[in-house]
Structure 1
């Protein structure tokens, strides 16, 4: 089930992405040689509106061939129909389409399910291990840690120059050699636990926890759109940081599963889990994540991605002359090889992750 959901969501996202490239190019009179749904060998095709429409064998991804985006159009015998700004518009249209779809989907989820909000000043207990020190202390699933030694947990603090969320102070208390008093909230009552747990390497207090999750209702879809827009802006720096960390992990520790980047196996598992837990809303949540990730990732200025190709156009604008076709082709090819190696390593890491 997860694999089917993953394939459908990915395919819709890619068709939308490539379709946006196609539409913006055609609006400017550019020639589009081919539009393929899927990759690999062509199993069916027909020609219409000057474009060869293809159905390819592998139902993963797709592509559009826009003649005037190729490096040969810069110094070829025929003048490109696309200006530099026109090329930027074509390249930007793909990620923008995924971004807008993600916002629309997110707004639909928010208007129906409410806006999830994280309260980092409270640690919510999700599980207490049987026979553990936490169980002996009377801690139960659903309890909220609200204070340590009478001091409320902060939303955020700075530790060694790095920002750190307040709920993580529970870990500090558990590992502390000094006795601490934990204040928990259970329903409308509070109770204190005098922590006498002696931590050492490998020891476990016996709780699984995370920051408190709240849900903020919204009155209508338009209000949800505003919330979705705000959330999409907040996601960008976090996503870029995750991509950068994931790429670094992938190349510095090859074949080790990355905690920041998921390949097709992990993504299919996530799609299945979201569908089981949330039904249709879980699937829409997965589609939102895929489209947002596709939009942000494609705008990273790596040659071969839309962001990298936009950067090349900007460089040519600043230089006031086009790059040599062979140079531009080599830059894009190098980026393509980098991406293929990266994707292969992520996929192999995925396989290793699921091997018992």
Structure 2
């Protein structure tokens, strides 16, 4: 079952990414030679007016073949002859669709599980917050001088302050009240013993999904920056085997956790593809911008060499991570 879930997640994420390239290319009148779901030999083909649509045997991704994308073409509708802005739009569209997919999946997840609010629902046993006078239904507004807008900010603020006692302002009915609340330290975390009220509505779920997707994208670029500067280690990366294992762990906790993991993977793939590195969409965007600025295209052979070297590096990295991080 783990393999099935993994294949479905990979197929969905890659298919949506490639569909983004496909639909924006079509909208910009760029010729699309083929749109395939899956890889390997075709098990179904249908020739459209100009595009071949195919389903291939290996459900491990998909691709869009644009006229003039990888070789020279005299066709006026080729990718290579398109205006730079149109090229960039096509390149960005794949990642954008991944972000949209992540948000949609996030809305489903948060609508099902509920979104944590800053309103207290209940207390743990021997809660310092309850002993200090806080009640269920109180909405936390401030901890010390820090305004609280989301539930995670509560624990973040408590752990940052590391105080034995904090000042908490809450809203109770139409009244604002202030309490002095002791904290308890457990496993390095400062706690006050409260549980949040959960909201299950579209508006809060959409907002939570946007924030979650944004945080994932931000984490990708922070990690990539730390990796390049030596502040993060390659051991923090996971390859295909590791991802399949994590999908399996998610599946054991229920289908909704698989959707959450798919949401994370989709945001990861979108963010990673925009990274300005050869063989990635981000690398091609950089080349396109340089060509536009200087008013001259790089030789096709030079592009092929640059992208080939980038691809070799990425495949080598995936192989290294798979062997030394996922398997050994």
TM-score (norm 1): 0.67
Give aligned pairs, total. 285
Residue 285 (structure 1) shift: 0.5
Look up the match of 1:67. Answer: 67
SS of equivalent residue, structure 2 residue 22: helix
| 1:105-158 Cα deviation digits (max 9, x unpaired) | 11222223223589xxxxxxxxxxxxxxxxxxxxxx988899xxxxx9999xxx
SS of equivalent residue, structure 2 residue 35: strand
1:79 to 76, 95, 116: 76
Residue 325 (structure 1) shift: 1.2
Matched, 1:273 2:270: no
Matched, 1:308 2:283: yes
Residue 37 (structure 1) shift: 2.1
Within a 5 Å distance, the mapping from 1:154-165 to structure 2 comes to none
Whole-Å Cα distance in 2 between the matches of residues 53 and 116 of structure 1?
44
| 1:164-204 Cα deviation digits (max 9, x unpaired) | x67778xx9xxxxxxxx999xxxxxx9999x9xxxxxxxxx
Residue 48 (structure 1) shift: 1.7
Contiguous gaps of at least 5 residues in structure 1: 119-140, 147-151, 156-164, 173-180, 184-189, 196-206
Structure 1 residues 211, 331: closer, same or farther in 2, change over 3 A? farther
Look up the match of 1:29. Answer: 29
Contiguous gaps of at least 5 residues in structure 2: 119-123, 130-142, 147-155, 167-180
Look up the match of 2:240. Answer: 264
Structure 1 residues 112, 166: closer, same or farther in 2, change over 3 A? same
SS of equivalent residue, structure 1 residue 70: coil
Residue 19 (structure 1) shift: 1.3
Within a 5 Å distance, the mapping from 1:1-356 to structure 2 comes to 1-39=1-39, 41-49=40-48, 50-73=50-73, 77-81=74-78, 82-116=82-116, 215=196, 217-218=198-199, 220-245=201-226, 258-259=235-236, 261-277=237-253, 279-352=254-327, 355=328
Contact 1:111 1:219 in 2 (8 A): yes
Residue 62 (structure 1) shift: 1.6
Structure 1 residues 263, 210: closer, same or farther in 2, change over 3 A? farther
TM-score (norm 2): 0.72
Residue 90 (structure 1) shift: 0.8
Structure 1 residues 214, 192: closer, same or farther in 2, change over 3 A? closer
Whole-Å Cα distance in 2 between the matches of residues 243 and 8 of structure 1?
27
Structure 1 residues 145, 96: closer, same or farther in 2, change over 3 A? farther
Whole-Å Cα distance in 1 between the matches of residues 244 and 187 of structure 2?
25
